[in-house]
Amino acid sequence: MMKSLDDKMKSLGSARRRKIEKRAAALFAEEMTLRELRRARKITQVRVAKALGIRQEGISRLEKRSDLLLSTLRNAVKAMGGDLRLVAEFPNRKPVVLKGIAERESKPVPTRQKHARPRPKDSVPRR
């Protein structure tokens, strides 16, 4: 018969059990929501909002979202003093850090320009 995890943990010595529980707590601490991360860094929504040039309400909404653009997430993490890295994990292979996806682009993003009205084909350009 297979032992349950609780049975297995009870069969270990107290020092070994404490070590496993400590490591499990550390692993759980590595996963945080954006809000938990901000709070762990002891940073207010107002401070992050000022760094991003938005209002505090925008940070509140951002922290509730589950689907963010990488650039938005990168900017939020940067506002908290960190850097965002994107890591792909596969079975039987070490994690791979993806480059060029979550990094700041070196070229400015073109702004949207209004389209000029098309001229009739037989008209003469004005000077």
Give the pTM. Answer: 0.57
**How does pLDDT run across 81-111, given as a tens digit for each residue?**
999 999 999 999 999 999 887 565 544 444 4
38 has a pLDDT exceeding 50: yes
Confidence grade of residue 124 (pLDDT, cut at 50, 70, 90): low
- The pLDDT score that the predictor gives to residue 121 is 58
Dist CA 95 CA 121 (whole Å): 59
Q: Which amino acid is located at 61 in the chain? A: R
Q: Which domains does the chain have, with CATH numbers?
A: 14-98 (1.10.260)
Residue with tokens 């890591």: 87
- The pLDDT score that the predictor gives to residue 51 is 95
119 has a pLDDT exceeding 60: no
104, 114, 120, 123, 124 from 127: Cα distances, Å: 42, 21, 16, 12, 9
